[in-house]
Amino acid sequence: MANYVKRELPNLHGEGKKKAYYKIETNRNFGCNELADYMSKSGMGMPKAAVKAVLLQLSSVMANLLALGYTVSIDGLGIVSLKIGPKKNKRGSDAYDFDNKLTPSNLEVTGVNLKVDKDFLKEINRQCRLENRGVRSLMRSIYSADERLQRAKDYLAENMFIRVKMYALLNNLSVSVAQRELKKLAEDPQSGITSVGRGSAKMYVLDNNNV
């Protein structure tokens, strides 16, 4: 069973109508070890170590093929392809202007696209039982974007780094909004904030080159 919540969207156009979207509440991440164990017990007839080796080899081979310009199809899942864009230090406000001629050395892979197989979605829907966990309103910050940035900088002036949860707490934001906002700030060379680390170890620090 999967739990979901109904979230209120901010009324950006002043229409007086509340809009909403629905979001799955994630239980937790299923790691590679657990996935291999789960698959080995699902009747595949393969030991856990062998399943894990296949999964790790799959990620390595896919990275190689995608890097060579191929797309990769996995039956029952979908088609994986690359996304590219300006490098972090080139992502100013004009980075995507048509007349801005970026050279290959100024571009990098920024993510991957997954075009999901329709049968994959059908299978998930066949197995999925949804349960309503209520309505959640989005937290609205009482501070402007400039004020939120300055509050983060003031915090960083006294602390070595700031994480998403602290930024959310400082500025009365939801964690998801805070995460998107910090990511955008770190990609803007003029913000004075940059990021270090990856994944759960990611944190944000003052960019000494642009303070």
100 shares its domain with 120: yes
pLDDT band at 11 (very low <50, low <70, confident <90, very high): low
41 shares its domain with 116: yes
pLDDT band at 13 (very low <50, low <70, confident <90, very high): very low
| Residue 38 lies inside a defined structural domain of this protein | yes
54 shares its domain with 121: yes
86 shares its domain with 169: no
Higher pLDDT, 205 or 199: 205
pLDDT band at 87 (very low <50, low <70, confident <90, very high): confident
104, 129, 154 - which closes a domain: 129
Closest CA to 24 of 9, 57, 39, 2: 2
> Stretch 101-116: mean pLDDT, rounded?
88
Q: Tokens 């995608």 sit at which residue?
A: 66
pLDDT of residue 65: 97
Higher pLDDT, 13 or 37: 37
Q: What is the CATH number of the domain that holds 53?
A: 4.10.520.10
| Residue 66 lies inside a defined structural domain of this protein | yes
| Residue 17 lies inside a defined structural domain of this protein | no
pLDDT per residue as tens digits for the range 121-153: 999 999 999 998 877 665 667 888 899 999 999
Name the residue range of residue 149's domain. 139-206
Specify the range with the lowest mean pLDDT, choosing from 10-19, 31-40, 86-95, 179-188.
Answer: 10-19
* pLDDT higher than 50, residue 104: yes
pLDDT of residue 208: 76
Percentage of the chain surpassing pLDDT 90?
A: 51
- Mean pLDDT for all residues in the chain: 86
> What's the one-letter identity of residue 140?
R
| Residue 160 lies inside a defined structural domain of this protein | yes
146 shares its domain with 54: no
| Residue 13 lies inside a defined structural domain of this protein | no
Q: What is the CATH number of the domain that holds 185?
A: 1.10.10.10
pLDDT of residue 12: 45
Virtual CA dihedral for 16, 17, 23, 25, nearest 10 degrees? 60
DSSP H/E element including 194: strand 193-196
> Stretch 54-74: mean pLDDT, rounded?
96
129, 157, 191 - which closes a domain: 129
Say whether pTM exceeds 0.85.
Answer: no
Q: Look at the chain and report how many structural domains it folds into.
A: 2
Closest CA to 206 of 133, 135, 131, 152: 152
61 shares its domain with 119: yes
104 shares its domain with 145: no
95 shares its domain with 148: no
104 shares its domain with 144: no
